[in-house]
Amino acid sequence: MSNRVDFVFNAFNEIETIENDISEIFTVVKELQTESKIIIAEDGSTDGTSEKLLQLKSKFNLTLSQTKERRKYSKALIDGISLSKADIIYFTDMGSKFNWSDIKKIVQFGERDVLVIGVRVNRTDPLYRQVLTKMYSVFIKSFYGYSFRDPDSGFRVYDRNTLNKIIEHGLINNHLLNSEIGIRCLAMGNRLIEVDINYKNRNDSSRGLPVKIIPKVILSTIQNAYKIRKDL
């Protein structure tokens, strides 16, 4: 790996899994044999995650971005990335949804002007979420002309230069931030590489997109889609 890569993770109320996740991530990053930071953007947790991270900081050489109040997902992403000076940024959420060894599968493709997305396969989350992913892929293809197998997957590797330009320009859709960044990356000429990764459902009803707000999110997404397309 010729470019330096840092690893940024968003965390909110992850007390049940945070220590195990960080231990596994630390092992994977160490195996890559590269100078890298593990950055945790902790987003105002109320379950003891913040305190646990402070306990783990020295053991796993963590860089922490913490706040007492909940930030928007986009703000947590931006704050975490601001602590890195690497050429390549890996970003995803905590929460034991992924096989962390899959990090090695996607960071190997990280380079200038390349967007790498981990495509969730063997999914065990509810069928309606998988159907929504396929419908959203069709919508993006027809509306923007870009093809993504898994447009809102949060398991990603970004070119830092491209990501900085997108952040400086500003983001519109906080509900589907990952897909907006992906669309903007391709609009700026980035090459897309998609890599299959494993994904598992957390069996936690408080996680993911609640069914009752799906109509609101769909309406917001359509409204924002026109703004984003006009802004490209």
CATH code where residue 115 lies: 3.90.550.10
Helices and strands: H and E segment counts in the chain: 8, 7
pLDDT score of 220 more than 90: no
What is the share, in percent, of the chain residues with pLDDT greater than 70?
Answer: 94
pLDDT score of 130 more than 70: yes
Using DSSP's 3-state secondary structure scheme, residue 19 falls into helix
Banded pLDDT at 204 (limits 50, 70, 90): low
The kind and range of the H/E element at 85 are: none
Distances from the Cα of 26 to the Cαs of 56, 171, 199, in angstroms? 11, 31, 19
- What is the arithmetic mean of pLDDT over 34-41? 93
Q: 173-194, pLDDT tens digit by residue?
A: 666 789 999 999 999 999 999 9
At residue 209, the pLDDT reads 62
Quote the strand ranges of the chain, DSSP E. Answer: 5-11, 38-43, 62-67, 88-93, 114-121, 156-159, 191-198
Domain extent for 20:
5-231
Instruction: Indicate the number of domains in the chain.
Output: 1
pLDDT score of 212 more than 80: no
What is the pLDDT of the chain when averaged over all its residues? 89
Quote the strand ranges of 4-155, DSSP E. Answer: 5-11, 38-43, 62-67, 88-93, 114-121
